Amino acid sequence: MSLFTGSAVALITPFHDGAVDYTAMTRLIELQIASGTDAIVALGTTGEAATLMQDEREEVIRFVVERVSNRIPVIVGTGSNNTEDAIQKSRFAEAVGADGLLIVTPFYNKTTQEGLLAHYSSIAEQVRLPIILYNVPSRTGLNIKPETVKKLVRSCENIVGIKEASGDISQITQLAAICPECDIYSGNDDQVVPILSIGGKGVISTIANIHPEAMHMMCKAYEEGDTEEARRLQLALLPLQQAAFCEVNPIPIKTMMGLLKLCDPEVRLPLVKPSLEHYELMENTLREYGML
């Protein structure tokens, strides 16, 4: 059974004066649930997990799980380039009531495909929660091959899917062909409908932070057989998606959320404010969509 189908928001972590802003986080969670979002992913790339200290990470996980209160699934990013660290993070998320885990491939020290098998198998043995693999080679420098995903899904009962952000449709199609039991989620907002068309289950979306209804409705329309409406939404959202990735994620999405008064646009170093040119692009794009 799929951990979720449809649109999961890759939730930002709002900051104010350097600290996690739990008032804003409450507002964002309630907005997502009211807008039909199908699941919440906390502490992924968009959530700036890499710059949170351990105590902050744990408090964010507790807070999101408690605030959502079983209304929709909560999936927590627990990846690391240190296998034991990923195990400890995953155990904590399980202990406080998360519904699933999103685990990125190791980065920097990276590994081989055999290393990926050992890494993920070791984590899967230590937790019971469903695990979604996360493939984003543009950030990690490491691509998880379809054959490796197939071996993991078939050897580890709780490895159930993958967030595919490689951008390589040919690779994703190959995975769908050789391992149909693997739930595939688009990791790129501009590839949702193509991935749904080969049997994908949905998207883990950055854009859903500012337009949750549209991302949810795109997936729902496709699931209900209205492929024309899903296609229309995919294409209509393209300029918004392009603006949201004009600089390193999550700089643009937080900037746009600041413009929309959803939260402060604050990011943590080494991330910085966008250039004036990109700021104006984002502002103009939001105006064109009638959101400002």
Residue 200 in contact with residue 2, Cβ under 8 Å?
no
The partner residues of 163 in beta bridges, in order of sequence, read 134, 185
- Catalytic position from the list 89, 163, 220, 254: 163
The Cα 128–Cα 31 span in angstroms is 30
Q: Is 108 a catalytic residue?
A: no
Sequence-separated (6 or more) residues with CB below 8 Å from residue 284: none
The H-assigned helical ranges of the chain are 22-34, 54-68, 83-95, 113-126, 137-140, 146-155, 169-178, 192-197, 212-223, 227-236, 238-243, 251-259, 276-288
Of the candidates 184, 190, 229, 183, the residue with the CA atom closest to the CA atom of residue 207: 190
The Cα 4–Cα 167 span in angstroms is 21
The tokens of 92 are what? 């904590």
Q: What is the pLDDT of residue 265?
A: 98
Sequence-separated (6 or more) residues with CB below 8 Å from residue 270: none
- Whether pTM > 0.75 for this model: the answer is yes
* Amino acid identity at 156: C
The Cα 102–Cα 76 span in angstroms is 6
The Cα 278–Cα 243 span in angstroms is 8
Of the candidates 100, 84, 71, 280, the residue with the CA atom closest to the CA atom of residue 183: 100
For the chain, which domains are there? 6-224 (3.20.20.70)
Of the candidates 226, 220, 224, 197, the residue with the CA atom closest to the CA atom of residue 208: 220
The Cα 130–Cα 209 span in angstroms is 24
Of the candidates 176, 172, 169, 104, the residue with the CA atom closest to the CA atom of residue 142: 104
The tokens of 282 are what? 């984002």
Task: Number of helices (H) and strands (E) in the chain: give both, helices first.
Answer: 13, 10
DSSP string, 46-58: TTTGGGS-HHHHH
Q: How many residues does the chain have?
A: 292
The Cα 187–Cα 161 span in angstroms is 12
- Catalytic position from the list 120, 134, 185, 279: 134
Q: Is 222 a catalytic residue?
A: no
Q: What is the pLDDT of residue 103?
A: 98
Q: What is the pLDDT of residue 4?
A: 96
Residue 190 DSSP code: G
Q: From the first residue on, what is the mean pLDDT of each consecutive set of 10 residues in the chain (292 residues)?
A: 94 98 98 98 97 98 98 98 98 98 97 98 98 97 98 98 98 98 98 98 98 98 98 98 98 98 98 98 98 96
The Cα 212–Cα 37 span in angstroms is 6
The Cα 3–Cα 149 span in angstroms is 17
